[in-house]
Amino acid sequence: MLPWLFLGFAALLVATAVMVVVHRNPVTSALFLVLSFCSLAGIYLLLQAEFLGMVQVIVYAGAIMVLFLFVIMYLNLQHDVETGAQIAVRRGIGWMVGALLLLFGFLLANRGWAPGPVAAQLPAQDGGNAAAIGRVLYSRFLFPFEITSILLLVAMVGAIVLAKGRPASESEGA
Amino acid sequence: MIPLGWTLALSAILFCIGVVGVLVRRNALVIFMSIELMLNAANLAFVAFARNMNSLDGQIFVFFVMTVAAAEVAVGLAIIVNVFRLRETVFVDEINLLKG
């Protein structure tokens, strides 16, 4: 049962990711990206990372993609014009590099990878995966966690300053 | 339990699709979405290893990667909006101010 679910989610994920890359219309690309993030959340659930699955849906499929869609609508883009010999050559090179990289990845995949389980089972899961993650996050990783808040604050201020644009009086040399 | 190799293969495929997207498309927004795909491929590998090693550290790392990705998207989209205001385009081959 579990492997079949995994294969289903994986097929959906790969199909939607390919559609993100090949579709002409950016809005459709963004909507396919939402679908691929949701199927990735399903895979996280299968890998016993329930908290991350939920965060994936809320943060990626919710917040980040809404931001993308807002910007696409704000910029009012026309469809990509993808004709001409130069673009065709570049597209061919792009697909070739991707295929080579995939081949390289599968060559590497046959090595011995993980050193094996460090514990017999996942650490104390009473109260669920979210509680376990919270316990680790607020003890061993407390300092990085607090640094993250500063990062988010800086990003917020930076985004507002960048997107605000110059006030009219400043450009007149006032 | 799902074999580690399957999830790693899926992660590799997802990453390569992201690379192709960055190389093939001209629209800066779609390139940005492809970068998100690559970040998610790395996240998937982290979660797969965390499951395989019975450790929560990989999941914690994915949490931090998601935070950084959110910050990156906010700043990056603001930059794209600014570029659009200046050049009236988001096609990366028409933004060639630094071309010699």
Structure confidence by residue, pLDDT tens digits, A26-62: 899 999 999 999 999 999 999 988 999 999 999 988 8
In chain B, where are the structural domains located? Answer: 26-87
Residue numbers in A near B73 (CB within 8 A) = 64, 67-68
C-alpha B67/C-alpha A103 separation (Å) is 31
In chain A, where are the structural domains located? Answer: 1-77, 125-165
Which pLDDT belongs to residue B18? 94
Spatial CA neighbour of B60 closest among A47, A49, A99: A49
Where residue A129 falls among pLDDT bands split at 50, 70, 90?
confident
Which pLDDT belongs to residue A116? 67
Identify the residue among A4, A37, A60, A66 best suited for mutation to test binding to B, counting B beta carbons within 10 A and taking the highest.
Answer: A60
Share of chain B above pLDDT 70, in %: 99
Query: Who's near A60: CB < 8 A, 6+ residues apart?
Result: A37, B36, B40, B66, B69
Q: What is the reported pTM?
A: 0.88
**Interval B63-77 mean pLDDT:** 93
**In chain B, whose CA is at the least distance from the CA of A9?**
B10
Where residue A174 falls among pLDDT bands split at 50, 70, 90?
very low
Residue numbers in A near B8 (CB within 8 A) = 109, 113
Which whole-number Å values give the CA distances from B29 to A68, B23, B34, B68, in the listed order? 8, 13, 9, 18
Which pLDDT belongs to residue A173? 47
Identify the residue among B4, B46, B49, B54 best suited for mutation to test binding to A, counting A beta carbons within 10 A and taking the highest.
Answer: B54
Residue A23 has pLDDT above 80, yes or no: yes
**Interval B62-89 mean pLDDT:** 90
Spatial CA neighbour of B70 closest among A36, A45, A66: A66
Query: Who's near B46: CB < 8 A, 6+ residues apart?
Result: B58, B59, B61, B62, B65
> At A125, which amino acid appears?
Q
Query: Which tops the pLDDT comparison, B35 or A125?
Result: B35
Looking at domain B26-87, its CATH architecture is: Orthogonal Bundle (1.10)
Q: How close, in Å, is residue B100 to chain A by CA atoms? A: 19
Where residue B68 falls among pLDDT bands split at 50, 70, 90?
very high
B91 has which bridge partners? B27
Helix or strand or coil: residue B91? strand
Q: How close, in Å, is residue A75 to chain B by CA atoms? A: 7
Where residue B38 falls among pLDDT bands split at 50, 70, 90?
very high
- Write down the CATH number for the domain with range A1-77: 1.20.120.1200
C-alpha B100/C-alpha B93 separation (Å) is 14
Query: Who's near B29: CB < 8 A, 6+ residues apart?
Result: A26, A30, A68, A71, A72, A75, A77, B80, B90
- Taking the Cβ of residue A151 and every Cβ of chain B, the question of whether any pair is shorter than 8 Å is answered with yes
C-alpha A157/C-alpha A115 separation (Å) is 42
Residue B1 has pLDDT above 80, yes or no: no
Tokens representing B75 are 């700043």
Residue B2 has pLDDT above 60, yes or no: yes
C-alpha A172/C-alpha A66 separation (Å) is 35
C-alpha A59/C-alpha B71 separation (Å) is 11
Look at A67 and B74 and tell me if their CB atoms are within 8 Å: yes
Where residue A117 falls among pLDDT bands split at 50, 70, 90?
confident
C-alpha A59/C-alpha A95 separation (Å) is 30
